[in-house]
Amino acid sequence: MSDPLECDVLIVGGGPAGLSVASHLASGISSIVVHQDAEIGRPVRTSGGSFLCDMQALDIPPDLYQVIDRLDFYSDNEQASFPIENDKMVVLDITGLYRYLAGLSDTLDRRLLLGRKFVSTEEQANGLYLSKVRSRSLGVQTIRSKYIIDASGWHSAVWESLNLGARPKRTGVGIEYEFPRGNFAKNRAVLFVGSTVLTGYGWIFPTANDRLRLGVGVINPDTDLTPRQVMNSFVQGGHAARYGIEIPKEYDVNAGIIPSVPYDPKLVYGKVIRTGDAANFASPTVGEGIRMAIEQGRHLGRDLSAFIAGDKTALQRYETRAAKAYARDYKYGYMMNRRIADYTPQRWDQAVRRLARLSEREVTQMLRSNFSARLILRTIYLSLKAKLLG
């Protein structure tokens, strides 16, 4: 076996979290990013829904997203429509975004290893980590690093390899068909629930490059159905026509998995740190997490740099900041996630009727998993009112 590759920071995962860590490490800190796919951003593994204000705050170029200012919710027998004037949503060009994020570290001491599967890591007696990765062409390679970042997504590959924990047993699993947008309005998004997507939800998202993403997601193991089975039933049942779309014979297929478990505030294990989906940075209500992955990945890059420079409280700041941002809201979001996973089509009809009474701000807060006291009380009030009125 050849001599190990050497770096200060090994980053396992080339998604938005891992790439953001690499781009915000200080000059002079070397990093290696190990990515299982042969290309950055391909295949697509996420629907790309997010929010305009977050993309602007993160300086994401506007040509990488489609702005959404109309959102329609559907259940079997109900519909709620919202013009979004303030907290507008966006649908991201995933491949373009990931490549943009990768380019931000091109001038740093960063090396991308593509088409590599992370195999294992071990802490050595000298405090360094010796990790193994495998590729089809090169076989097994070893990498020696001082720090290791688990940005491997729901696999939690590093965390599991070091016996620090296990990958989540409850996950959101989704599949998308992507095809030309046709006559579907480029500023409109659709979310649908009910009998066609029990234990989950479906979506229709237009992209910045005139494509349309039709997707369905389910929660495992809450259901035995696979997303492909749900999608096949949706297509064969002719449900697409209700939303004004026609599915062509040729389309691209995207698929992905996200964690759907309670928030865990423990992110730092000495010189091993979790981020992105490996840290459950995905909102529990609708499973969108790119904005959190980028933001917290950048924080981690800066905080780890400060730690290496001698600030021994820096990594604790990263952990504390994330908990402050997510722990409370994720608690309520996860409670909602577990509850609605058991909804019948009739209960979804009731939920969409209640949803129609919410303001634009309350709807976007719910999608963000921002559960203010006012939103919680209003939701409880509408639920009780619906029960009392039958």
Please give the pLDDT value at position 372. 59
Please give the pLDDT value at position 1. 55
Q: Which domains does the chain have, with CATH numbers?
A: 5-42+96-168+263-334 (3.50.50.60)
CB of 254 closer than 8 Å to CB of 207: no
Within 8 A by CB and 6+ apart from 82, the residues are 70, 71, 72, 73, 360, 363
Please give the pLDDT value at position 373. 46
221 residue type, one letter: P
Residues of the chain with pLDDT under 50: 373, 375-378, 380-390
Please state, in angstroms and rounded to a whole number, the distance separating the CA atoms of residues 327 and 148. Answer: 24
Nearest to 300 by CA among 4, 8, 26: 26
Nearest to 144 by CA among 285, 9, 304: 9
Nearest to 199 by CA among 168, 175, 221, 232: 221
This prediction's pTM: 0.92
Nearest to 205 by CA among 174, 238, 250: 174
Please state, in angstroms and rounded to a whole number, the distance separating the CA atoms of residues 14 and 186. Answer: 29
CB of 113 closer than 8 Å to CB of 107: no
Please give the pLDDT value at position 367. 85
CB of 70 closer than 8 Å to CB of 189: yes
Please give the pLDDT value at position 375. 46
Alpha helices in the chain (DSSP H): 16-23, 52-57, 94-103, 157-161, 227-236, 290-308, 314-340, 345-355, 360-368, 373-389
Q: Counting beta carbons within 10 angstroms of the beta carbon of residue 183, is it exposed (0 to 12), middle (13 to 18) or buried (19 or more)?
A: exposed
Please state, in angstroms and rounded to a whole number, the distance separating the CA atoms of residues 339 and 348. Answer: 11
